[in-house]
């Protein structure tokens, strides 16, 4: 059996009061969960342990630097490149060992290199103990036979602290809404609305980029959607340079609210200052829109529905105004159609959203 020598030691990091940087040591991760992560991190042979100690620090630095790249998977690709070095990890050609080494890498990144550079409110920091408990459980039991790319890509980002969990939604600390997509929307729609809203919000600067994780789908309800955006608003309040939050998905398409009323609440931000930008729709997004909905699939076959991706951008000013109003008036919370049970049942029919804007 593989064996490693990584020890369970508290992460040396500055807490939120020291420049706003959040490290693992400031998040009160439970001893049992830290031990579980350490056990995964130690699933190495001695030569692999030596190479991780030698090479992972510079790999983590490169992966962090790639976090703002347009390719969402760039940090994970950087880690995979390390694991594929034949002189360092000679066993990685075996699929089972590749899965094991991916798990080890994520655990070690979390234990040794987790760092959030933006300031976070207590409402988000308090999510982390349970979040890391779930990650430790997933690494211990849920990814032993197969660590798929979708989860691995996300987990590398979580472990580095460059993607932040907020419940139903997760968000990346550095995203960009480029002028190119705004001009393309103007050409496709003929409407200057998005261009004007983009200019007013100084949209060429840094945004947060939101997306979903299928492991958090139980939170994908009107209540969970409201809570996530309220938390993101608190983060924005602490980080005034960020222009807002934006994400791309097929379910931001306005026609989805008509075809699938149980998802209508996803459009709610547009009633509170968010704007939509029409995007190009690649084949995998078309498949995602159809895979779990017989209704959408039937309409697509009949030529009555064409899945279309939209970027939903919620600038900081309107989002903060909505969040402030939410503290006084619960009527601005997002409402679903039908009963709460029906709303929760509907979440299982969602397919993955695209993960970056």
Whether 156 and 175 share a structural domain: no
Whether 285 and 153 share a structural domain: no
142: pLDDT strictly greater than 90: no
Q: What is the pLDDT of residues 12-29, one digit of tens each?
A: 333 343 345 677 878 889
pTM, to two decimals: 0.87
Is the CB of residue 90 less than 8 Å from the CB of residue 101?
no
> Closest Cα partner for 74 from 160, 136, 178?
160
pLDDT at 23: 78
313: pLDDT strictly greater than 80: yes
Q: What is the pLDDT of residues 251-302, one digit of tens each?
A: 999 999 999 999 999 999 999 999 999 999 999 999 999 998 999 999 999 9
pLDDT at 20: 57
Mean pLDDT score, 149-153:
95
Is the CB of residue 51 less than 8 Å from the CB of residue 101?
no
The kind and range of the H/E element at 32 are helix 31-41
pLDDT at 22: 74
| 51 inside domain | yes
Whether 133 and 254 share a structural domain: no
pLDDT at 145: 85
Mean pLDDT score, 106-120:
96
Q: Determine what percent of the chain is predicted with pLDDT higher than 70.
A: 88
231: three-class secondary structure by DSSP: helix
Model confidence band, residue 343 (pLDDT cutoffs 50, 70, 90)? very low
Q: How many CB atoms lie within 10 A of CB 50?
A: 14
Q: Determine what percent of the chain is predicted with pLDDT higher than 90.
A: 80
Whether 131 and 192 share a structural domain: no
Q: Domain end: 111, 137, 162, which one?
A: 162
Whether 198 and 223 share a structural domain: yes
> Closest Cα partner for 156 from 35, 74, 57?
74
Higher-confidence position of 215 and 70: 215
Q: Domain end: 145, 162, 179, which one?
A: 162
Q: What is the pLDDT of residues 56-112, one digit of tens each?
A: 999 999 999 999 888 899 999 999 999 999 999 999 999 999 999 999 999 999 999
Taking all residues of the chain, what is their mean pLDDT, rounded to a whole number? 88
Is the CB of residue 271 less than 8 Å from the CB of residue 278?
no
327: pLDDT strictly greater than 90: yes
Q: Any idea of the CA torsion for 99, 113, 232, 14, to the nearest 10 degrees?
A: 160
Whether 72 and 114 share a structural domain: yes
**Total number of domains in the chain:** 2
| 278 inside domain | yes
Q: State the residue range of the domain holding 90.
A: 22-162
| 357 inside domain | no
Q: Domain end: 162, 184, 204, which one?
A: 162
Model confidence band, residue 221 (pLDDT cutoffs 50, 70, 90)? very high
């Amino acid at each position: 059996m593989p064996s490693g020598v990584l020890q369970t030691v508290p992460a040396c990091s500055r807490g939120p009061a020291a420049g706003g940087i959040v490290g693992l040591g400031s998040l009160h991760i439970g001893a049992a969960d830290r031990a579980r992560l350490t056990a995964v991190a130690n699933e190495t042979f001695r030569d692999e342990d030596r190479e991780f100690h030698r090479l992972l620090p510079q790999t983590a630095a490169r992966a962090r630097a790639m976090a703002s790249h347009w390719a969402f998977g760039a940090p994970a690709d950087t880690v995979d490149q390390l694991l594929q070095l034949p002189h360092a990890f000679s066993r990685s050609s075996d699929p089972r060992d590749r899965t094991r080494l991916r798990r080890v890498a994520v655990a070690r990144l979390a234990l040794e290199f987790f760092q959030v550079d933006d300031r976070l409110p207590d409402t988000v920091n308090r999510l982390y103990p349970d979040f890391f408990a779930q990650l430790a459980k997933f690494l211990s039991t849920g990814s032993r036979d197969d660590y798929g790319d979708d989860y691995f890509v996300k987990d590398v980002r979580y472990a580095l602290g460059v993607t932040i969990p907020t419940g139903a939604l997760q968000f990346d600390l550095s995203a960009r809404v480029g002028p190119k997509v705004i001009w393309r929307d103007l050409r496709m729609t003929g409407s200057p609305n998005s261009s004007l809203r983009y200019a007013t919000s100084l949209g060429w600067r840094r945004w947060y980029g939101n997306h979903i994780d299928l492991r958090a789908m139980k939170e994908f309800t009107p209540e969970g959607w409201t809570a996530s955006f309220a938390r993101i608003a608190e983060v924005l309040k602490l980080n005034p340079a960020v222009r807002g939050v934006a994400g791309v998905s097929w379910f931001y398409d306005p026609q989805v609210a008509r075809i699938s009323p149980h998802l209508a609440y996803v459009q709610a931000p547009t009633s509170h200052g968010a704007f939509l930008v029409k995007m190009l729709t690649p084949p995998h997004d078309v498949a995602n829109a159809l895979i779990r909905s017989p209704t959408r699939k039937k309409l697509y076959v009949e030529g009555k529905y064409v899945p279309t991706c939209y970027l939903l951008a919620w600038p900081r000013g309107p989002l903060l105004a909505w969040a402030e109003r939410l503290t006084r008036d619960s009527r601005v919370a997002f409402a679903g159609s039908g009963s709460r049970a029906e709303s929760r049942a509907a979440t299982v029919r969602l397919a993955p959203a695209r993960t970056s804007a």
